[in-house]
Amino acid sequence: MTEVKQLKENVYRVEYRASTFTSQEQLDYYLRRRCAELTLPEGYDYFHLAGRSNAPGLSRHTSQS
């Protein structure tokens, strides 16, 4: 699950939630891809990842249905 919140002009918080079976590498890939999807339509060539919380070991939560 992806959550995107615009904090300021050209500043977003992108948060991913995934199962415990999703690797850290996959989460990093999804994060960077989503950032690129937000960046390119605005006419920018690059983005900057700032203030990554819990990196490199992002917190993992499990839920049961």
Q: With contact defined as beta carbons under 8 Å apart, do 32 and 16 qualify?
A: no
pTM above 0.85, yes or no: no
Residue 59 reports pLDDT greater than 90 = no
Residue 11 reports pLDDT greater than 50 = yes
**Boundaries of domain holding 10:** 1-60
The structural domain count of the chain equals 1
Residue 16 reports pLDDT greater than 90 = no
Give the separation between CA 16 and CA 6, rounded to whole angstroms: 15
State percent of the chain over pLDDT 90: 29
Amino acid symbol at 56? P
Amino acid symbol at 46? Y
Label residue 39 exposed, middle or buried (CB < 10 Å: 0-12, 13-18, 19+): middle
State the greatest distance between any 2 C-alpha atoms of the chain, in Å, as a whole number.
Answer: 41
Q: Kindly state whether residue 9 falls inside one of the protein's structural domains.
A: yes
Q: Kindly state whether residue 65 falls inside one of the protein's structural domains.
A: no
